[in-house]
Amino acid sequence: MAEQEGGNGSPNSSSLTPYEEALEVLSSLIIRRTRADSSNLGDQFEVLFEYLKMLDLEKPISNMKIIHVAGTKGKGSTCTFTESILRNYGFHTGLFTSPHLIDIRERFRLDGVDISQEKFLAYFWWCYDTLKEKTDDNIPMPNYFRFLAILAFKIFAAEKVDVAIMEVGLGGKYDATNVVRAPIVCGITSLGYDHMEILGNTLGEIAGEKAGIFKDRIPAFTVPQPDEAVHVLEEKASLLNVPLQVAPPLDAKLLNGLTLGLQGEHQYLNAGLAVALCSTWLKRTGHFGDTNLEQTNTLSEQIIKGLTSASLQGRAQIVPDQHINNERSNELVFFLDGAHSPESMQVCAKWFSLAIKEYNLDQTLFHQQPDEAVKMHNGESGVQTKSIQILLFNCLTVRDPQLLLPHLMKTCADHGVYFKKALFVPSLSVYNKVGSQALTPSDPNVDLSWQFALQRVWENLMQDNQGKSTEVVSEELKDDMGMSASNCEHSAVFPSLPVAIKWLRDRVHQNRSVRFQVLVTGSLHLVGDMLKLVKK
């Protein structure tokens, strides 16, 4: 393939592998600006079509059979279900999602698998070198996300996928994926308050931005939404003659006793939308097959297999710590979920609360005493073992912890779950680097002011709710807080994620009769950092 000859525009460095070299160059496209600046042509939406012309991608994109999905919550899950269903129908699939958790290649999946390094490098350098040659001061190089979206279109066109499932990065109307003129079908997942500094302060304004992916007379589906959002979606749809329907949540009974591949009750909402998107795609592309849009009686074997075999990292994911756990029962288990909005915090808290009960049932004979924060159960050895829940948290500074943390704490408390300690850590990944080199070593001078602010919010919440929790910090957590930057009664700030993980592992070694269950949430970046470290 002609693209294999790319790479001429890259700096040579003997210390980097070819893949690391490409990631270095990709990192150079990252800018700090978060919203379009109309004074700079390179930030205007229209310039995207200039890039497509430079790469001869206009016709290939117009020929693609695309499913386009926007929304606040559940976009990645809906796209994952959709891809899995159509792959199980035998179609050659392309899936573009964001962000990645461990490796940039996660964003580009072919037939359910991350693109290979070899193919990534070939397509990356072809796009980069071509754009480098043709751009100038008037039309500068695209920024990081725009480049990735363009790269996705190039990959899927060159690989001749039967279907391309494109997840919107941010918003909809001005998102880089919205260069699609005529998708086969569009989807809008659950809407909520996120990226308000860019998308607007009301649910209606946010819905208006997401509805920007609607195209003239192209069918679209959404999930049950608040009235304010529904009105705007319907209004935008009517202006473009878009047949907009609400896809009902999937009826669990239709799975014939099986469970969804992605955990959490909210996934039935995403699964229902995915079924509607796939059924419409199959019909509009002439593949009628055995589809059932209404979900009234049965689902096809392919849909059931697609829904039950789908997998997505960092969403309701349970990872026992292999560093600690060997032949013994799992003593340190991380429950990972990249929730970062008030609504998703509630969903995450409910999932965690139910998951630890199921997990403990799987591990030992489990029973919970009324109103007790500590769960007691008989271990395999016959001695009593207790489970302690710990929160490991960070969020971006654009989020409001006064909205996130109360939702998390209250929903867990409603299910009888109380955290014995909350640990706050700074991000390991740096905003302007992609790849393994983006993980910064522990910096003794790291700015922890945001983590101290998060800690203050948590301590105030704990004081307000002191009467509702049945006990103070466990004895098992009182010793040796020397590694922390700030230790309070209910929380601690650590200078880095590796230091926090080491502290947890030390606690496990010192308390063999205790099972530590750690909820890691607040940011997909934090979840990605955790996966990089724990899965090493």
For the domain bounded by 40-309, which CATH number is listed?
A: 3.40.1190.10
The percentage of residues in the chain with a pLDDT greater than 70, rounded to a whole number, is 81
- Supply angle C-alpha 67, 73, 78, rounded to 5: 35
Lowest mean pLDDT among 56-65, 197-206, 221-230, 474-483: 474-483
Using pLDDT thresholds of 50, 70 and 90, give the confidence band for residue 9. Answer: very low
> Where do the CATH 3.90.190.20 domains begin and end in the chain?
317-367+384-464+480-535
Indicate the range of 47-56, 203-212, 255-264, 372-381 predicted with least confidence. Answer: 372-381
Q: What mean pLDDT comes out for the span 370-388?
A: 51
Q: Where does residue 238 rank: exposed (0-12), middle (13-18), buried (19+ CB within 10 A)?
A: exposed
Give the model's pLDDT for residue 360: 74
What pTM, to 2 d.p., does this model score?
A: 0.86
In the structure, what pLDDT confidence band is assigned to residue 444 with cuts at 50, 70 and 90?
low
Structure tokens at 10: 């890259």
Quote the strand ranges of 460-502, DSSP E: 486-487, 491-493
What pLDDT was estimated at residue 376? Answer: 40
Task: Tell me if 93 sits within 8 A of 87, measured CB to CB.
Answer: yes
Binding residues for Mg(2+): 98, 167, 195
The conformational region for residue 478 under phi > 0 = left, psi -120 to 50 = alpha, else beta, is alpha
Mean pLDDT of 359-382: 48
Residue 326 confidence (pLDDT): 54
Q: Is the pLDDT of residue 362 over 80?
A: no
Going by C-alpha positions, the residue among 392, 281, 276 that lies closest to residue 333 is 392
Given this structure, which CATH class describes domain 317-367+384-464+480-535? alpha beta
What SS3 state is found at 96? strand
For residues 214 and 70, is the Cβ–Cβ distance under 8 A? no
pLDDT value at position 383?
Answer: 46
Element (H, E) at 125: helix 117-134
> Mean pLDDT score of the chain, rounded to an integer?
86
The confidence score (pLDDT) of residue 38 equals 44
Give the tens place of pLDDT for each residue, 406-428.
Answer: 999 999 999 999 999 999 999 88
Question: If we measure between CA atoms, which residue out of 307, 411, 351, 350 comes closest to residue 77?
Answer: 307
Give the H/E segment covering residue 88: helix 75-88
Decide if 203 contacts 343 (C-beta within 8 A): no
Which range among 213-227, 290-304, 425-439 has the greatest average pLDDT?
Answer: 213-227
- Contact residues for 466 (Cβ-Cβ < 8 A; gap 6+): none
User: In one letter, which amino acid is 408?
Assistant: L
Annotated binding site: 98, 167, 195, 315, 337
Residue 402 has pLDDT above 80, yes or no: yes
Of 142-151, 323-332, 341-350, 381-390, the range with the lowest mean pLDDT is 323-332
Q: Helix 144-158 vs helix 18-27: angle between axes, to the nearest 10 degrees?
A: 130
Assess contact for 256 and 221: CB atoms under 8 A. no
- Which regions of the chain carry the CATH code 3.40.1190.10? 40-309
Asked whether the predicted pLDDT for residue 295 surpasses 60, the reply is: no
- List the binding residues for ATP: 315, 337
- The pair phi, psi for residue 378, each rounded to 5°, is -80, 120
Interatomic CA distance for residues 128 and 337, integer angstroms: 34
Query: Dihedral of CA 492/331/351/107: which sign?
Result: positive
Q: What is residue 141's DSSP assignment? A: P
